[in-house]
Structure 1
Amino acid sequence: MKVVVIGGTGLIGSKVVAQLDAQGHQAVPAAPNTGVNTLTGEGLAEVLEGASVVVDVSNSPSFADDAVMEFFRTSTGNLLKAEEEAGVAHHVALSVVGTDRLQASGYFRAKQAQEDLITASGMPYTIVHATQFFEFMKGLADLSTVDGTVRVPPAKFQPMASDDVAAAVARAAVATPVDGMVEIGGPEAVPLEEPLRTALTAAGDPRPIVTDPEAGYSGAPVEESTLLPGPDAELSTTTYADWLATQQ
């Protein structure tokens, strides 16, 4: 089965391609550096020829509110149109747990717009909602730093390894479309500050971390459970401690 992976040269996409290839499928990475640009439409018709499934794990190069909205609206619209013309049978998109609860953030408003385009398209689809990746703990700390101090809300989240995210996306790609959303998350629900502190300690980063009720997440206010998946989520088994040990 031919599966085109949009964003297929990135962190998640390259892993999805490798996993699908290992299962005997024809996984084709599609990204600007392979001649496929979903914003302009360049290369879409050619790469989608003969494809049964499209997996979209692409992300905006800019997180500024207007730019990220333009990226997801334009790229998703172009992709869905090209899929219809090519006779693609299943659209799989990677999104984020809590997207609908984080609409004060420009990034998550754009992700919601992406999801709305998919659900309204008439294309058979599966949207995979994932929690934050272990790989982004230091980046999350950077985004949360104010005057040299990392300030995080008193919320819990359930991060997971990118390998496990990719495995779930690959499973969705070869399964029957659910015409809905599936949730995936890590094995442990922990206070947001804990893995950030572990990540900074492992990196020798001396920044203090403070739990601040006024702090948000990507610019959006959160409650304790805003970032957590629901009770029916598929949970991975790789813990942050186990993953961190493999990185060292």
Structure 2
Amino acid sequence: MKTAVIGGTGFVGTRLVERLRATGQETTSHGRSTGLDLLTGAGLPDALRSVDVVVLTIDAPSFDAAASPFFRSTTLNLLAAAGTAGVGHIVLLSIVGIDRVPDVAYYTAKVLQEDLVRSGPVPSSVVRATQFMEFVEPIMSWTSEDDIVRLPTTRLQPIAVDDVVGTLADVATGAPADGIVNAAGPDVFPLDELGRITLRARGDRRTVVVDESAGLFGAVPEDALVAPPGARIGSVNYSDWLTCRPPLS
């Protein structure tokens, strides 16, 4: 079986390519740096030649309304090329709870992407993951000023990227799910408390102040991004992850 990872040079894709190759899977990595342009379709026929499974891990270049036309164009181009190439399975990386957050433009765009893949000509699986542990500190940076970090109480269930990659690899090497597979970390935290835990672990003296309107997650209903029953639960909890993960520079 041959797998093509579209977005294989990115944050998740690089790790997934390594994981699949380590288990003996023939895997190719594709992105703009390898000559693939999903917006125009350039490079798609070569990328999908003799491929059985495609894993799509690309991100939009922005979180605003421009994400929807980006995902529409890139996904339709991929689906058309995959159908022509005889690809047997498309796996899409998405986000837990996006259908419950209509006020966030990026989440609406991801729902569009999911709908296109699921209604397309190729059997599919959608892997929805909760917020990555690796992104908690960048999230905090969005709403930091001087010695204050403003965060809402929105509940998150952070997952380590390696646990997400494990789920993607399992789904990619199995039969199409013809639906959604949810993946999440083992613990649920209000985002403000997640911020305090992070600052303490880093020896950071900044103060977290609750602000329900702060940042992207201020528009998210309290439990929308918590995984539903039946989700695959990762093995890494956030406290242990913080202990072995150096702070971002």
* TM-score for the superposition, normalised by structure 2: 0.92
Q: Deviations over 1:75-107 (max 9, x none)?
A: 111111110010000000000001001110111
Asked if 1:136 corresponds to 2:135, the answer is yes
Pick from 220, 225, 228: which aligns with 1:227?
Answer: 225
- How far is 1:199 from its partner? 2.8
Q: Residue 12 of structure 2 corresponds to which residue in structure 1? A: 12
Counterparts of 1:160-175 in structure 2, within 5 Å, are 160-175=159-174
Distance 2:228 2:215 in 1: 21
Q: Residue 237 of structure 1 corresponds to which residue in structure 2? A: 235
Q: Is the 8 A contact 2:7 2:57 kept in 1?
A: yes
Q: Which moved more, 1:104-113 or 1:192-201?
A: 192-201
What secondary structure is seen at the aligned counterpart in 2 of 1:9? coil
What secondary structure is seen at the aligned counterpart in 1 of 2:219? coil
Q: Residue 101 of structure 1 corresponds to which residue in structure 2? A: 100
- How far is 1:218 from its partner? 4.2
Q: Residue 197 of structure 2 corresponds to which residue in structure 1? A: 198
Counterparts of 1:23-172 in structure 2, within 5 Å, are 23-66=23-66, 68-145=67-144, 149-172=148-171
Q: Deviations over 1:46-77 (max 9, x none)?
A: 010000000001101222322x1122111111
Q: Which moved more, 1:207-216 or 1:120-129?
A: 207-216
Distance 2:116 2:38 in 1: 15
Distance 1:29 1:212 in 2: 41
Distance 2:243 2:200 in 1: 13
Distance 1:79 1:144 in 2: 36
Distance 1:77 1:219 in 2: 31
Structure 1 residues 80 and 98, CA gap change in structure 2 (3 angstroms):
same
Structure 1 residues 124 and 158, CA gap change in structure 2 (3 angstroms):
same
- How far is 1:148 from its partner? 6.3
CA RMSD of aligned residues (A): 1.8
What secondary structure is seen at the aligned counterpart in 2 of 1:49? coil
Structure 1 residues 203 and 114, CA gap change in structure 2 (3 angstroms):
same
Structure 1 residues 47 and 119, CA gap change in structure 2 (3 angstroms):
same
Aligned-partner residue type, residue 86 of structure 2: G
Q: Is the 8 A contact 2:83 2:121 kept in 1?
A: no
Aligned-partner residue type, residue 172 of structure 1: V
Runs of 5+ unmatched residues, structure 2: none
Q: Which moved more, 1:177-186 or 1:135-144?
A: 135-144
Runs of 5+ unmatched residues, structure 1: none
- How far is 1:115 from its partner? 0.7
Structure 1 residues 219 and 72, CA gap change in structure 2 (3 angstroms):
farther
What secondary structure is seen at the aligned counterpart in 2 of 1:141? helix
What secondary structure is seen at the aligned counterpart in 1 of 2:51? coil
Q: Which moved more, 1:198-207 or 1:77-86?
A: 198-207
Distance 2:132 2:186 in 1: 12
Distance 2:198 2:102 in 1: 27
Count of residues in Structure 1 that have an aligned counterpart in Structure 2: 246
- How far is 1:197 from its partner? 2.4
What secondary structure is seen at the aligned counterpart in 2 of 1:65? coil
* TM-score for the superposition, normalised by structure 1: 0.93
Q: Residue 185 of structure 1 corresponds to which residue in structure 2? A: 184
- How far is 1:215 from its partner? 4.2
